[in-house]
A = this chain, B = another copy of it.
């Protein structure tokens, strides 16, 4: 075995531990009985700590010291560089700390589930306090230039930081606030009355599955289950799972979530199978991953051509509720722009304000200027400021998102980045596939998926986001296409 082959084999074992951790987390969110909660933290802590130990083992010291980077071929170099970056980062954390963090996250996730169910922040507060404190310690271990959040952002977006994100997100926020004002003042508001009824959840499930199968999600190499907070997880290349949430009072919730997670899953399924057990089997950053989920969920799933094709199918499933409704009414309703409390249910315009709120608050939490106990008030105050409405419970406030419970700080900006990248990609796709919308109109997504596979998916983590975007669209990341898209779409919808 060459040194590089030994490296691949050793990394394979690290990747196996990650696979087991993914399954433990999937099970925790889907089928684990409540009685399993305490032990799950121990088990995940032990596996995370073993993964960390393996990463920093003397065996790997020896193997890597034998590798001559200048003698590697291009593919091997991608692998080796990615491995070394991750290893250098892992080296900064003490082993005990890694185990404690994994335990704390598992426990905190369980507390969050419980707290959200009963809208009781008190259950969650001590856990989130611990998670924030551990995250702050992690920032110190990792090191950072300006803001402790930078140390976390870099794990999602390698070249970004608070300072670098701010200009883009501020441009997006200001453009959004201006557009929102005009939309709210428009007399042409869509009819939302027909939505106020019950929607059989089994039918909602069936509709969603049909749509994502049509998109190209290979559900035979994955599966869908129900969870409180939908997510996608890759257990292995042939086992890429999604989850969704169903609510009989909400027609759009499961639909949007299902398309969103399938977008993530198709990204994973589009990566080379030969990248199994390799660190290259991922997106270069979460923003890129979110671009795929948001593209399918919003750019496609909330387009008029999509509804021209799918509305009759939905109507056949709900003949009574949708008897008087047209595809145009459906399109207007699913695109209704208005201030709401829940991020995952938000329209695509206000969506980015939800991100602005979270990004601001996580800076304060980690920066130490906001105590966890004051989070509910701060959340509600900022909701009032940005949206002009105030949550009546923490369930529709600071308890709605799973991310912080799992220690995922600095992740939220990735959603707005995803929207930005998705708009850029769509701009190019509409040029490269002139018949795109005619195809969508007949439920044919083959050319679109092939384009994404060719220009995005197949690279895995080989190119950094910026390079990937330039290669795919000819442009460096810019907010303009997204703002233009909003302007175009909503000027028409609201006759601005």
Q: Which residues of A contact B (CB under 8 A)?
A: 12-13, 16-17, 19-20, 23-24, 27, 31-40, 42-43, 45-47, 50, 218-223, 225, 235-239, 276-277
Contacts and interface: CB of A to CB of B under 8 A. Distances in A.
A27 B32 CA distance: 11
B24 A43 contact: no
Closest 8 CB pairs of A and B: A35-B238, A36-B239, A39-B236, A35-B221, A16-B46, A16-B43, A13-B46, A19-B43
Contact of A20 (B36, B38, B47, B277): B47
Given A23-B23, A23-B27, A24-B23, A239 B46 contact: no
A23 B27 CA distance: 8
Given A31-B223, A33-B222, A39-B236, 17 more contacts: A16-B42, A16-B43, A16-B46, A17-B47, A20-B24, A20-B47, A23-B27, A27-B27, A34-B220, A34-B238, A35-B218, A35-B238, A36-B235, A36-B239, A38-B236, A39-B238, A39-B276
Contacts of A13: 46, 50
Contacts of A38: 236, 238
Given A23-B24, A27-B23, A33-B220, A16 B47 contact: yes
A48 to B, nearest CB: 11
A239 B231 CA distance: 23
26 contacts: A16-B43, A16-B47, A17-B50, A19-B39, A20-B20, A31-B31, A31-B223, A31-B225, A32-B239, A33-B222, A33-B238, A33-B239, A35-B218, A35-B220, A35-B221, A35-B222, A35-B236, A35-B238, A36-B235, A36-B236, A39-B236, A39-B237, A39-B239, A39-B276, A39-B277, A43-B236
> What is the count of identical protomers in the complex?
2
Nearest to A46: B16
Given A23-B24, A35-B220, A236 B40 contact: yes
A16 B17 CA distance: 13
Nearest to A38: B238
Contacts of A50: 13, 17, 50
Nearest to A37: B238
A38 B19 CA distance: 13
A75 to B, nearest CB: 21
What is the predominant secondary structure among interface residues of chain A facing chain B? Answer: helix
Contacts of A16: 42-43, 45-47
A50 B43 CA distance: 14
Contacts of A221: 33-36
A226 to B, nearest CB: 12
Nearest to A225: B31
Nearest to A239: B36
A374 to B, nearest CB: 34
Contacts of A36: 221, 235-236, 238-239
A42 B8 CA distance: 13
A12 B50 CA distance: 13
A160 to B, nearest CB: 32
Contacts of A33: 219-223, 238-239
A39 B223 contact: no
Nearest to A237: B39
A238 B414 CA distance: 37
